[in-house]
Structure 1
Amino acid sequence: MEPVSTEQVTAFRRFNRYFTRRIGALDDHYLGQDRPLGEARLLFEIGDGASLRELRSRLGLDAGYLSRMTRALEAQGLVRVRVHPDDSRSRMVELTRAGRVELKEQQRRADALVADLLGGLTAGQRAELTEAMATTRRLLRLAAITVRHVDGASGDARACLDAYAADLDARFPEGFDPGALVRPEEVSGDAGAFFVAYEEGVPVGCGALRRPAPGVGEIRHVWVHPDARRLGLARRLIGALEREASERDLAVVRLDTHVVLTEAQAMYRACGYREIPRYDDNVYAGHWFEKRL
């Protein structure tokens, strides 16, 4: 990947400073209510109820900090903490009636703040800003996803492959037999590699590389969770697999795909792959591609 420039870092930080100041994120009385943004956001995230473990993961908060904020809200009568009904070791947080009233007022004030901000723009400018924010959110999500090299027999690897197989079984007219998935030993050690993409610690995609012949790599099972699609993650995974192939001194990578996966075929072509004659006996393949590294 190309290095990040100083100008790009400066521009990002400049926008971050402006936006946090403009929405009042640094104010101890966020939206004019008697609490800082952290507590206000926690009320929002609790919503209809959530476990402390879930909140910690979702917000990326230190356990001690989350506990202190929760106790503060509990002391104010806005939330209650109880034992999780399905796990005595876990704790659930729920809004009290007073908490629900405050959250409703918070939502009203937040909507009013946004409406006031957008009121100074024309309809066309609002549409432009909305589109830009959608693009920003998509790219920030992609930037925050990490792609890691994992053991092909790991729980996350096999869970991703199970989800991949279920997707194909639903999309292929003939269904899909999970027995056609790569075996762990094919994508581990010297034989190959397996990558998993994580968003906030949760697996949301995968891809495998194996070496069917000297100097040749084969990309298999590139999959992205439905909630993480249209971010550009599949291309990230392919890039990681290609770099791995280069590091293993493989001169060419190949892959195949089903005839119904038209979006995958378009992506492979956009990534520099050219269609070639059949090179394997995969019963689910209808198109075969190759790229020289």
Structure 2
Amino acid sequence: MSLDPIARIRRFNRAVTRETGVLDQSFLGRGRPLGTARVLHSIGPEGRDLDSIRAYLNLDKTLLSRTLRGLQDEGLVTLAPHPEDARRRIATLTTAGLAEYHAYNTLSDQQAHALLARHPKPETLLAAMDLVASALTAQAITLEECDPQSRDAVYCLEEYYAELGRRFDTGFDVNLSADPEAADMMAPRGSFLVATSDGLPLGCVGLKGTDKGYAEIKRLWVSPASRGLGLARRLMDAAEDKARSLGITTLRLDTNAALPEAIRLYETTGWHQIDRFNDDPYPTHFFEKHL
């Protein structure tokens, strides 16, 4: 007999409520409830548009206004018209507000370290947290074009290479692969897209420009915690849209038999298999798609 899934979810919710201090009137001992602390933190050192805060925290407009008034009364926040649109307002932290922001960060970091320290398998715990966070925020995952040498891009690529090393019988050495030049995955030749959620990178894909009459899709990767949410298809669709905007009409890609989920994705989204078109030692399957 399996345990009741609803009971398990409710147990999880209660545990998170206790651990995060949702019901505390003095979150982390700073004299304010969690909701108020989250609003202060979301403003950040650079300040933030009120509409952006509401969207980020999914807050009712009236509740946000009431919370901001409280922070103003404490001398932690100031409000001013947006410099480009007087109908909008910008919230900015005062010197005292910045001090509270940093105090919350320090205490929150300490709380997180303590949680990891008391668990026998911290990496397993983090993986479970990543899985839950991705499931709860799937609709909030955004795709951003970035430099393939940026921090988030490099993180995704390193995770991608490490996974290939685990899954390929021969291992994977990027120095033996036909690794694309960064400039080939930047406008006007190509593009590099990274999927992020709340600032954390969850996946990537590269569009590599060539001088051969076609462009290539390279380095499609999705975090294990975000798989099954349609993110790989979103990344591929975005890469194809970017190719169209650059006037590219033919795309090619290669993959390995050890990645059957990738092969299924290509076979069900309009790609067709072709003969080998490069001398990369790792791929076993080759695909093409006309846009």
The TM-score with structure 2 as length reference comes to 0.56
Alignment correspondent of 1:197: 195
Query: Aligned partner of 2:270: which letter?
Result: G
Report % sequence identity.
Answer: 35
**Alignment-derived partner of residue 127 in structure 1:** none
Correspondence for 1:289: 287
Residue aligning to 1:170: 166
List aligned pairs for 1:119-158, cutoff 5 A. Answer: 138=135, 141-158=137-154
Q: 2:107 maps to which residue?
A: 92
Report the CA distance between 1:291 and its aligned residue. Answer: 0.9
CA deviation after TM superposition for structure 1 residue 90, in Å: 4.8
1:246 pairs with one of 240, 244, 247: 244
- Quick one: distance in 2 between partners of 1:151 and 1:168? 22
Aligned counterpart, 2:78: none
* 1:270 aligned partner: 268
Aligned to 1:125: none
Q: Distance in 2 between matches of 1:249 and 1:148?
A: 20
1:72-109 deviation per Cα after TM superposition (whole angstroms, max 9, x unaligned)? xxxxxxxxxxxxxxx999521478xxxxxxxxxxxxxx
> In structure 2, what residue type is equivalent to 1:208?
G
Q: Deviations over 1:104-154 (max 9, x none)?
A: xxxxxxxxxxxxxxxxxxxxxxxxxxxxxxxxx85x633211001101221
- The amino acid of 2:245's aligned partner reads E
Distance change (3 Å), C-alpha of 1:190 and 1:173: same
CA distance, structure 2, for counterparts of residue 292 and residue 144 of structure 1: 30
Question: Could you say if the C-alpha distance between residues 211 and 42 of structure 1 is closer, same or farther in structure 2, counting changes exceeding 3 Å?
Answer: farther
Match of 1:219 in 2: 217
Task: Note the C-alpha offset of 1:186.
Answer: 2.1
Q: Which ranges in structure 1 are unaligned for 5 or more consecutive residues?
A: 1-30, 32-37, 47-51, 72-86, 96-136
Structure 1 position 212, deviation (Å): 2.3
Q: Give the SS at the match of 1:221.
A: strand
2 CA distance for matches of 1:167 and 1:262? 14
Q: How many residues matched?
A: 190
In the superposition, the TM-score normalised over structure 1's length comes to 0.56
Compared with structure 1, are the counterparts of its residues 247 and 203 closer, same or farther at alpha carbon in structure 2 (3 Å cutoff)?
A: same
* Cross-structure match for 2:95: none
Residues 142, 232 of structure 1: 8 Å contact kept = no
Is 1:162–1:178's contact at 8 Å kept on the other side of the alignment? no
The alpha-carbon distance between structure 1 residues 60 and 210, as it changes in their structure 2 partners (threshold 3 A), is farther
Aligned CA-pair RMSD: 3.7
Kindly state the Cα deviation for residue 214 of structure 1 after the two structures are TM-superposed: 4.6
Q: Which amino acid aligns with 2:154?
A: R
